Chain A
Amino acid sequence: MLTVRGLHAHYGRAHILADVGFEVPAGQVVVLLGRNGAGKSTTLKAVMGMVRPSAGQVLLEGRDLAGREAYQIARAGLGYVPEERRIFSELTVRENLSVGRRPPVPGLRPWDEARLYGLFPALGAMQDRPGGRMSGGEQQMLSIARTLMGNPRLLLLDEPSEGLAPVVVQRMAQAVRQLKAEGLSILLAEQNLYFAHAVADRAVIIEQGRIRWEGEMAALLNDESTYQQYLSL
């Protein structure tokens, strides 16, 4: 589904991503793991065109999207859910969703409000509430729902569990599994290993802007030394 090859990115002179490459197979959930500042968010942003990659390829079903602008990449079928959620706080839930709306894509069951309220019932109960007056968990759901309105084929989720109560994290994990069950491919950036374990098929470990390990999620859980080396504090 998504193949990233030789991706480099710079902030000014700082080299943030060096030769990053991995794959997200169709219908799978791949989690990008790493400590704070390892380059997880930047990888997602570079894939999405929000950080301009200085080199490399971002292939969505064989079509190279690297160097395009974010809106073109979104139209090509990538959906991005930012770490800070970035809800339009002056807009209501319904209006937030309408900003994300894009025409249906052939071969995909289109998302609409009703279907999203099925996935996140809490949102259905507050359609006219301004985004600024919602809890963190509700904002996270709205942020995901808003992106789904664009009918993406692959979802980039940046730390959806961050700052949420454990019970909300569980519900979020359920939602992610449900999305996967409906055939959506997902690339997830996470620090929360429990959340990652609950949803991911494969894992990619990034450290100092380089990919250090790639494999099955189950294999990582049995690999104490890799875990110690790259993820534990």
Chain B
Amino acid sequence: MENLLLQALNGLASASSLFLVASGLTVIFGVTRIVNFAHGSLYMLGAYLAFSIVTNLPRGHLGFWGGVVLAALAVGAIGAVLEMLLLRRIYRAPELFQLLATFGVVLVVQDVALLTWGAQDLLGPRAPGLRGSVELLGLRFPLYELVLIGIGPVVLGLLLLLFKRTRWGTLVRAATQDREMVGALGVNQRWLFTSVFFVGSMLAGLAGALQLPRESVNLHMDLSTITEVFVVVVVGGLGSLPGAALAALLIGELHAFGILIFPKITLVLVFLVMAVVLVVRPRGLFGKAQVAQAAVASVAEPVLGRAPPQLKWLGLVALLVAVVAPPYLAGDYALIVLTDMAIAVLFAASLHFIMGPGGMASFGHAAYFGIGAYGAALLTKWFAAPMVPALLAAPFCAGVAGVIFGFFCVRLSGVYSAMLTLAFAQIAWSVAFQWVELTGGDNGVLGVWPDAWATKLHFYWLALGCSVVGTLALRRIALSPFGYALRAQRDNTLRAEAIGINAFEIRWVAFVLAAGFAGVAGGLFAFAKGSVFPTALDIPRSVDALLMVLLGGVQTLAGPVLGALAFTGLHEQLVRATDYWRLVLGGVILLLVLAFPQGLAGAVRQRWEARRRPG
């Protein structure tokens, strides 16, 4: 009983800080419609800045609380600058490109923090006067946690007052519904958006700063927080403050009691709840159907078409070189990189298939890659299967996962659908991580080597073959009647259904196909590395695939191929050349986003077509 009360209080404390971060994210999304992946980075910056400020101020109440407030304000200012320099330029770009830009920010902030504060965990000072604990019904509970529990509702109250009682709040709520109309009424949206970013970022910074006495400050705070906060925001309903509060409470308590009741599946639990909520309420607990923004006059996205013959010849020549040249290359390193590239191309092409022609974003495509990899590896480990049957099983395993997960994901749309894919990917990851008896957990599955007949060179040719055949098959499907139906439902679901297309079925089949091809890539990956770890299906891998597709451009079939090659090559070179590869990669992404909002392949095609059609 006492234990339960203690856990309930612990749950309230984490709910409180979850709410602070989530409220900022949900307010920013409501107005700007930007899903800000960098929100977790702002939270992390809040913690680091608070550490530096508090340790440099004189000890005492003023030093600590003053430092926390200063850190929150500083993060607010950073958010505002970010909005003015980066996001303001891309509000009209496609949603996914905005996402790519915020990924870039995540990478840059990670290395800036590494450069500034170093890699070691930092232990901040305790809050003065709140070091002790209080007795509650005979239990000792840390005083600081109690203060934290109080801060959540206070901030919620202040935010509600701000939104209901001030003109700024009214303008923000109006802009959440129809920002163009707000502009037509004489409101300068730029300042409104910047101020919203300031407030939202400040809340993230405040939450980070308040963590200082609770836990060490480290470089992993950004991604671990953003995942949880996404769950909170999505469960609560995007853009809804009360929703975020309720969901934070739910998730916080779930964490606290999950450890007591289901210690085996703590990591899955949160995502399981999110999956259930989204299946029952597709827009979260308090989410409202998005008012369609009035169609702003914009250039129609280019129609997916066949590549010009010159480009095909170029591709064929490149492919020939890729087949013929490797035996003459010195050393295994080049072969390893080339094999990685072949696998990456297929992985990216499979994600592109549902994102481009299908119009469904996936934040969890690594699940199918990883399930393919684990499927092949476990067959080898437990049944001593040879390589070829194990490889054949990979797409089957991934496809089955695609059938089950896809059934739920393709029913939702937009960000909610993407979040559900993330939830399922996290569930898969948790299983790989926590089911130690089967998967070896963090130690992975080792000894997954190709059969004796396959040298490194043979295996490369096998990977290249699978990749080329798979990518061409996906292209063929995209340009078949099924592909037309897929694009028809993407462009207008209602009209597509009116002419007899079963949008759900089409999306589902596409999802399963994409999962299967990702599974092939995963199976190859297992044998290329000789081992599989839970990282094969973690969030960074899903993000890698997204980066490849978005870099290459969603609206061309060559895009994912180019994007995968560019990303893998760049990544490989950067990791070898510098410890700060994230900074460089993030910087490159930001530059590309600002310079080519239609992706690499899109930009090349535009130049090409412009040259061929003068005037």
Choose from B178, B184, B297 the contact partner of A88 (Cβ within 8 Å). Answer: B178
Task: Assess A88 versus B185: contact at CB under 8 Å? Given A11-B297, A98-B167.
Answer: no
Contact A99 B187 (CB under 8 A): yes
Q: A69 to chain B: which residues have CB within 8 Å? A: 183
Contacts between chains A and B (CB distance < 8 A), count: 70
| B residues contacting the other copy or chain, number (CB 8 A) | 25
- Chain B contacts for A100, CB-based, 8 A: 185-186
Q: A147–B181 Cα gap in the complex (Å)?
A: 10
Contact A84 B300 (CB under 8 A): no
Query: Does A51 sit within 8 A of B, measured CB to CB?
Result: yes
A160 CA / B559 CA spacing, docked (Å): 47
* A88 close to B173 (CB less than 8 A): yes
User: Which of B189, B294, B298, B299 contacts A71 (CB under 8 A)?
Assistant: B189
Nearest chain A residue, comparing its CB with the CB of B185: A100
Give the docked Cα–Cα distance between A95 and B291 (Å): 18
Instruction: Please state if B299 and A86 are interface contacts (CB–CB under 8 Å).
Output: no
- Measured between beta carbons, the chain B residues less than 8 angstroms from A101 are 167
**B185 is contacted by which of A11, A52, A89, A99 (Cβ under 8 Å)?**
A99
Question: Shortest beta-carbon distance, B33 to chain A, in Å?
Answer: 16
**Known contacts A11-B297, A51-B297, A98-B167: does B173 contact A91 (CB below 8 Å)?**
yes
Instruction: List which B159-194 residues lie within 8 A (CB) of chain A.
Output: 167, 170-171, 173-174, 176-178, 180-189
Among candidates B170, B184, B187, residue contacting A80 with C-beta atoms closer than 8 Å? B184
Instruction: For chain A, residues 115 to 153, give those with C-beta under 8 angstroms from any C-beta of chain B.
Output: 146-147, 150
B176 contacts across to A, CB distance below 8 A: 90
Q: How far, in angstroms, from A101 to B170 measured CA to CA in the complex?
A: 12
For residue B291, which residues in chain A have a CB less than 8 angstroms away from its CB?
A: 89
CB of A48 within 8 Å of the partner chain: yes
Q: Tell me which residues across on chain B come within 8 A of A147, comparing CB atoms.
A: 185
Is A86's CB under 8 angstroms from B181's CB?
Answer: yes
Shortest distance from the beta carbon of B28 to any chain A beta carbon, whole Å: 18
The interface residues of chain B lying within 8 Å CB-to-CB of A166 are: none
A71–B173 CB distance below 8 A: no
Smallest beta-carbon distance A118→chain B, Å = 21
In the bound complex, how far is the Cα of B171 from the Cα of A88, in angstroms? 10
Q: Does A212 contact B (CB under 8 A)?
A: no
A residues contacting the other copy or chain, number (CB 8 A): 30
Does A95 lie within 8 Å of B185, measured CB to CB? no
Q: Are A74 and B186 in contact (CB under 8 A)?
A: yes
Report whether B177 and A88 are in contact in the complex, using a CB–CB cutoff of 8 Å: yes
Rounded to whole angstroms, the CA-CA distance of A74 and B186 in the bound complex is 5
Query: Please, which residues of chain B bring their CB within 8 A of the CB of A102?
Result: 186
Residue of A12, A70, A88, A146 near B183 (CB, 8 A) is A70
Please tell me which one of the listed residues B167, B184, B187, B288 contacts residue A50 in the complex, with CB atoms under 8 A apart: B184
The distance from the CB of A31 to the nearest CB of chain B, in whole angstroms, is 21
Q: Which residues of A contact B173 (CB under 8 A)?
A: 88, 90-91, 95
Please, could you name 21 A-B residue pairs with CB atoms under 8 Å apart, sorted by A? A11-B297, A48-B184, A50-B180, A50-B184, A52-B297, A71-B186, A71-B187, A71-B188, A74-B184, A74-B185, A74-B186, A75-B186, A80-B184, A82-B294, A86-B178, A88-B181, A90-B177, A90-B288, A95-B173, A96-B174, A99-B182
Q: Which residues of A are at the interface with B, using a C-beta cutoff of 8 A?
A: 10-12, 48, 50-52, 69-71, 74-75, 80, 82, 84, 86, 88-91, 95-96, 98-102, 146-147, 150
List 8 additional contacts besides A50-B184, A99-B174; criterion CB under 8 Å: A69-B183, A80-B184, A86-B181, A88-B177, A90-B176, A95-B170, A96-B174, A150-B186
Which B residues lie at the A interface, using CB under 8 A?
A: 167, 170-171, 173-174, 176-178, 180-189, 288, 291, 294, 297-300
